[in-house]
A = this chain, B = another copy of it.
Amino acid sequence: MNQMRDPEKTKKAILESALQEIHRKGFTGASVNDILKATGLTRGALYHHFPTKKDLGLAVMEMISQDMAQMWLAPLEQCQDPINCLQQILRQARQTLKEQDIILGCPLNNLAQEMSPQDDDFRIRLAAMYNRWRQGVAQALERGQAAGVVDRAVEAYAAATFFVASLTGCRGLAKTAQSPEILGLCAGTLARWLETLRA
């Protein structure tokens, strides 16, 4: 029937569909059948590209982490004032976030909360991603200190950790409340906290 064989497209389609499903239902709750249903493919196709459901999940996680890196790490690297920069990204994030994205929460955090205690392969990769994120913020802050725009008394690493944690927490709270307003309120306070780091 479907004589159109294009491994790249197939793989991409599976990943895309899996991302949706996992975002919606979590990894455990995600149904391989439903993932396939959305693509029109069958089990054989999937297990050709991804030996197990876990492999698929890890691949999806990789995708997500790249999105995250592009949104947070890339801009931070070429940044004069990290505080302005972080506030800017924060604003931008809130604008691009759709209703659905608020309800479903941060896909990375969802996976982290669900899978960290379940599976070390997930956990190690997830921890690495969060480390990269925190490191990115910390280094930007340190550059800010060197440039004299961030208070030297600030412990960059601790502040970066708190920033990432709080942001994640804000998004989690908004998810449970299904409320963009709460996200705004919470992110606003976070932005104001950033001000306390200035030189």
Q: Which of B24, B157, B193 contacts A117 (CB 8 A)?
A: B24
Q: Is A198 an interface residue (CB 8 A)?
A: no
Given contacts A28-B28, A193-B193, contact A116 B176 (CB under 8 A): yes
A26, B104: Cα distance in complex, Å: 17
User: Of B26, B162, B176, which one neighbours A186 at CB under 8 angstroms?
Assistant: B162
Given contacts A26-B28, A178-B127, A190-B162, contact A113 B116 (CB under 8 A): no
Chain B residue contacts of A167, Cβ below 8 A:
169
Q: Does A68 contact B (CB under 8 A)?
A: no
Say which residue of B105, B162, B178 sits within 8 Å of A113 (CB atoms): B105
Q: Say yes or no: B116 contacts A175, CB within 8 Å.
A: yes
Q: Given contacts A104-B117, A189-B158, is CB(A127)–CB(B177) below 8 Å?
A: yes
**Chain B residue nearest to A167 in the complex (CB):** B169
Main secondary structure of the interface of A (DSSP, over half): helix
Query: How many Å lie between the Cα of A113 and that of B26 in the bound state?
Result: 9
Chain A residues close to B by CB (< 8 Å): 24-26, 28-29, 103-105, 109-110, 112-114, 116-118, 123, 126-127, 130-131, 157-159, 161-162, 164-170, 172-173, 175-178, 182, 185-186, 188-190, 193, 196
| A-B pairs with beta carbons under 8 Å apart, 21 shown | A24-B117, A25-B118, A26-B114, A29-B118, A105-B116, A105-B117, A109-B113, A109-B172, A114-B114, A123-B176, A123-B178, A126-B176, A127-B176, A161-B189, A162-B170, A162-B185, A165-B170, A167-B169, A168-B173, A169-B170, A193-B196
A-B residue pairs, 4 tightest by C-beta: A169-B169, A165-B169, A162-B189, A166-B166
